Amino acid sequence: MTDSNPEQKDFRYKNQIPSLLGLVELALKFQGQKKDLQEYSLEAIRFINRFFPEITDIAIYMPDSRSGNFELLIDRISNRKLASTELFRLGDGHTWDVYLSGFSRLIPNLGQDPYFTAKDVLPGGDGSYFCFPIEQSNLKRLGVIAVYSKDPFFFDEHACIVLGKVSTLLGMALEMFYSIREAVEKSFRDELTGAYNRRFFNEHYDHEYYRHKRYHTPYGILMLDIDFFKKLNDTYGHASGDVVLKKVSDSIQSSIRKSDTFARWGGEEFIIFLPDTNEQNAFLVAEKVRRSVEELYHQKFPELEFLKSPVTVSIGLSAFPSNCEDKAEMINFADSNLYKAKRDGRNRVVAG
C-alpha cells in the first residue's frame, strides 16, 4: 500500500475497528493460555496475519532462558533471502539493536533508504520494515518482533499503534508466564543448594523411566554422599556445613549437562539422573563430579578457608538396563553401591 493510492488508504482507516476489537480477543486468549513461549508467540503471529495480511514476513526473537543468548524463537519469513539481511539477521542486525536500545525502528520505504540502496541487499528494492521491543511492566525487555511488508509506507500510525499493542499484550502475557514458572520452579527447588528437591526428582524420574523403557535407551543414576559430613558439622557448626553443601552442589551442577537432573535426596545426600547414558559414560560423569568436589579445597574459596582438608564425596552408580530394569531397583542399586564406596574407603565411585 503506497501514498499514491489514497482510496485504499482511506478504506483502511475506515476499517480499523476490527483490529482494535481483535486486540481484546488477543488479550483474552493470552489470559486463558498456560502454555510455552512459542504458543504465546504463535498467537501474536496469528493476529498479525489475520488483521495485516500485507505483512508477509514476521520474526520474534528472545534471549534463551538458560544461556541468555539472543535467539530466533519463531518466524514466518516467506522470502528467505530477507533472513540474511540486517532486517532479520541474528546477532548484528536491527533486531539486536532494538533489543539493546529498547527503541523501535521504522523504515518506511526500503527502496529509498540510503543504506539498503547502496548495498543493494534487499530483494526487489522496495517494501517497509518495523521492529519493536517486547517489554514487561517494569520495562525489562523480553525480546523483539520484526515485521516486513512488500508495500512501501505500509506502517502508518494505525499499524504501528496496533502492532505496539500486540507487543504490550505479549509482554504482559510473558511476564505472567515467567512469574508462574518461577513460582513453580521454586516449589521444586531446595532452598539452600538450588538443586531440585526429592519430590520433583521422583515425578521427573517416573516420566523418564517409562520413556527410556519404551524406547530401550540407557540411562544412569548416581547417588552421592558427602564424606564425614556429620564430623564437619560437629567441628565447624551447621552454618559452615550449609556453606559446604552449597559449594558442593554448585560444583556438581557445573560438572553435569543441562539435560541431567540433579536433586538433593536428603541431608548431605544427592542424586543425579543421566538420560541416554550408558554405564561406561555414567562412570566417567561420576568421576568428573567426584574430582570437581575434591578440587574445591585447592581452589581457595574464601568461604571455605575454615577447612583443613578437602571435602570429598562417595558415589554409587546404577545403569539401565545393564544393572537392572526395575524403576525402584535402579535407585536401590545405586544406593547399595554408595554404601560400598563408603565401606571401601570413601572418595570413590562404585559401579557394576
Q: Answer yes or no: is 206 within a domain.
A: yes
171 and 28 in a common domain: yes
Q: Which of 152, 186, 220 lies at the terminal end of a domain, its last residue?
A: 186
203 and 178 in a common domain: no
93 and 228 in a common domain: no
Q: Answer yes or no: is 342 within a domain.
A: yes
What's the CATH number where 137 sits?
Answer: 3.30.450.40
CA 79 – CA 57 distance, rounded (Å): 7
Q: What three-state secondary structure class fits 7?
A: helix
Q: Answer yes or no: is 44 within a domain.
A: yes
Structural domain that includes position 114: 6-186
Which is catalytic among the residues 25, 268, 269, 305? 268
Q: What is the pLDDT of residue 212?
A: 92
By C-alpha distance, which of 178, 331, 194, 341 is closest to 264? 194
- Per DSSP bridges, beta strands 313-320 and 349-350 are parallel
93 and 50 in a common domain: yes
pLDDT tens by residue, the chain, 352 residues: 444 566 555 555 556 767 877 878 888 888 766 678 888 999 999 999 999 999 999 999 999 876 678 999 999 998 888 888 889 988 888 999 999 999 999 999 988 887 776 665 666 568 999 999 999 988 899 999 999 999 999 999 999 999 999 999 999 999 888 888 888 888 999 999 999 999 999 999 999 999 998 889 999 999 999 999 999 999 999 999 999 999 999 999 999 998 999 999 999 999 999 999 999 999 999 999 999 999 999 998 999 999 999 999 999 999 999 999 899 999 999 999 999 999 999 999 999 8
CA 344 – CA 64 distance, rounded (Å): 44
Q: What is the pLDDT of residue 16?
A: 72
Q: Which of 186, 207, 227 lies at the terminal end of a domain, its last residue?
A: 186
268 belongs to the catalytic site: yes
110 and 73 in a common domain: yes
Dihedrals phi, psi of 287, to nearest 5 degrees: -65, -40
Q: Answer yes or no: is 335 within a domain.
A: yes
Dihedrals phi, psi of 85, to nearest 5 degrees: -85, 170
203 and 119 in a common domain: no
By C-alpha distance, which of 185, 183, 196, 171 is closest to 265? 196
The pTM of this model reads 0.65
Total structural domains within the chain? 2
